[in-house]
Amino acid sequence: MPDKVIHILHVDDIEEEFILVNKLLSDIDGVKFDIQWAPDAASAQQALRRASFDLCLIDYYLGKDNGLEFARSAIAGGVVIPFILMSGQGNSAINQEAMKIGVRQCLNKNDLTTSLLVNAISSTLQNS
């Protein structure tokens, strides 16, 4: 039986964060992660129109853009994939606002491990 492939759109203005997530998800038995990077909201919107994803990882700060505004717009526009917010801020007000608009989970980038990320993705997909 072939490995399962999970298609992820990772929206983050810092390429090193994308590289880190790729590295954290690179050696998981039985699951392959196909991760596409979008450095800003406009690129992410284009990616969502071009391809099918199982979920979207978004950063709160996207340079001049805001990850929550992108998620709000995407959800309002009919995007049905789940969103996970990843922020280095660990701000409960941001997390509460994220949950109100439909983001499924919020992760603190400073605490990110393979186990935490895989568990968040797994539980998000199971509850979708």
User: What pLDDT, in 10s, does the model give residues 3-29?
Assistant: 689 999 999 999 999 999 999 999 788
- In the chain, the largest separation of any two C-alpha atoms, in whole Å, equals 44
Q: What is the pLDDT of residue 48?
A: 95
Entry pTM: 0.92
**Which band of pLDDT confidence, cut at 50, 70 and 90, is reported for residue 121?**
very high
Q: What is the pLDDT of residue 127?
A: 85
Comparing CA positions, the residue from 121, 87, 79, 116 lying closest to residue 104 is: 121
